[in-house]
Amino acid sequence: MVTPSAYNVTELLLAWRGGDQGALERLMPVVYQELRRMAGSRLRRERSDHTLQPTALIHEAYLRLLGQDHPEWQSRAHFFGFAARLMRQILVDHARRHNVAKRGGGRAKESLDEAVIYSPERAAGLVALDEALDRLAGFDQRKARVVELRFFGGLSLEETAAALGVSVGSVRRDVRLAEAWLRRELQA
């Protein structure tokens, strides 16, 4: 496993904050791969309950990639927001590949185990959610962001509020409506 040095990650994050979109592109695969690897290994270790705690994972990724000795790194929430987007991408990519498999794609995707764990309507669900979230962002970007931070990033209401610079009450109301809206979209 290629473990990028903390220095690089910090530098890339700083560059990205400074407006360098290229830094984000270089940073993405590093964090993406780390998160994905951790998500996989965590679940394998705890196969019995199949729980995934995105918050814990992102915390862990943060520590691994940046180390504990970065008190000056104030935008922890920033990193979390970033990681939340990556988590979303990881999970949705995965679901999307599965949908392809279910439609009779590549030969290596035929196993029953996956079929049982992962029934088609649910796979469709997560991809549909992703698409719906994009639609939501089209007319209410903040709500889409709240959902991303809250669920894919596993941030608490308070953390979400802090990351977006709004009140906790607003976040709660945002979640309420966004969830209802998404649910209705997915039921349709």
Partner 1 sequence: MTPERWRQIEENFQAAADCATAERVAVLDQACAADLDLRREVESLLAAQAGEQGTFMAALLLESASSLAATHEEDLTGRRVGAYRVTGLIGEGGMGAVYRAVRDDDQYHKEVAIKLVKPGLDTAFVLRRFRYERQILAKLEHPYVARLLEGGTTADGRPYFVMEHVAGQPITDYCVQEQLPLPERLKLFRAICEAVQYAHQNLIIHRDLKPSNILVTADGVPKLLDFGIAKLLDPEFIPEAATQTVTALRAMTPDYASPEQVRGEQVTTATDIYSLGVVLYELLTGQRPHRFENFSAGEIERVICKTEPRKPSAAVEPTTAAAAKLRKQLAGDLDNIVLQALCKEPARRYQSAEQFSEDIRRHLAGLPVCARQDTLTYRTGKFVRRHKLGVAATLVVILSLVGGIVATSYQARRAERRFQQVRKLANTFLFNIHDEIQNLPGSTKAREMVVTTALEYLDSLAQEAAGDPTLARELAVAYQKVGDVQGDPYAANLGHAEAAMKSYQKSLSLAEQLAARNGGNLEVRRTLAQNYFKLGTVISETGNKLGAQATMRQGVGPAEALAEQPGEDKDLVLVINYYMRIGNTQLDTGDVAGALGTYRHLQLLSERRAARYPSNRAKMAVAFAHSNVGEARVALGDLTGAIESYRQSLVILEALAQKEPSNLGYRRGVMIGYLWLGHLSANPRFFNLGDRAAALGYYRKALPIAEGLAVTDAKNVFPRSDLAGAYLDIADILTEDDPAQAADIYRRALAITRSLLEAEPDDFRFLRRQAFCLRGLAAPLERMGDRQGAHQHLRQALETFEKLAARDPADVKMHAELQATLNALGDFALRAGDTADAQEHYRRAVAIGEAAVAATPSYLYSQWRLADSYLRFGQLHAKLATGSGRPKAERAANQREACAWHQKTLALWDRWSQQAVSSPFNTSRRDQAARALAQCEAALTALGN
Q: Which residues bind partner 1 (CB under 8 A)?
A: 1, 33, 36-37, 39-44, 47-48, 50-52, 54, 90-92, 94-95, 98, 102, 106-123, 125-126, 129, 138-140, 147, 150-152, 172-173, 175-177, 179-184, 187
* Structure tokens belonging to residue 45: 């270790």
5 versus 183: smaller Cβ distance to partner 1? 183
Q: Is 11 exposed, middle or buried (0-12, 13-18, 19+ CB in 10 A)?
A: middle
Minimal distance, residue 92 CB to partner 1, in Å: 8
- Spell 17-28 as b/e; 16+ CB within 10 A means b: eeeeeebbebbb
Nearer to partner 1 by Cβ, of 75 and 111: the residue is 111
Q: Smallest distance, Å, CB 12 to partner 1?
A: 21
Q: Which is nearer to partner 1, 16 or 154 (CB)?
A: 154
Give the separation between CA 21 and CA 15, rounded to whole angstroms.
8
Q: How far is the CB of 43 from partner 1 (least distance, A)?
A: 3
Which is closer to partner 1, CB of 69 or CB of 121? Answer: 121
Question: Residue 149 and residue 126: Cα distance in Å, rounded?
Answer: 16
Contact 144, 134 (CB under 8 A): yes
In the complex with partner 1, the residue whose CB is nearer, 13 or 92, is: 92
Nearest distance in Å: CB 28, partner 1: 16
CB of 139 to partner 1, least distance (A): 5
Q: How far is the CB of 183 from partner 1 (least distance, A)?
A: 4
d(CA 121, CA 133): 18
Closest CA to 45 of 57, 33, 55: 57
Structure tokens at 131: 């698409």
E strand or H helix at 47, and its extent? Answer: none
- Cβ proximity to partner 1: between 50 and 68 the closer is 50
Say how far apart CA 46 and CA 72 lie, in whole Å: 34
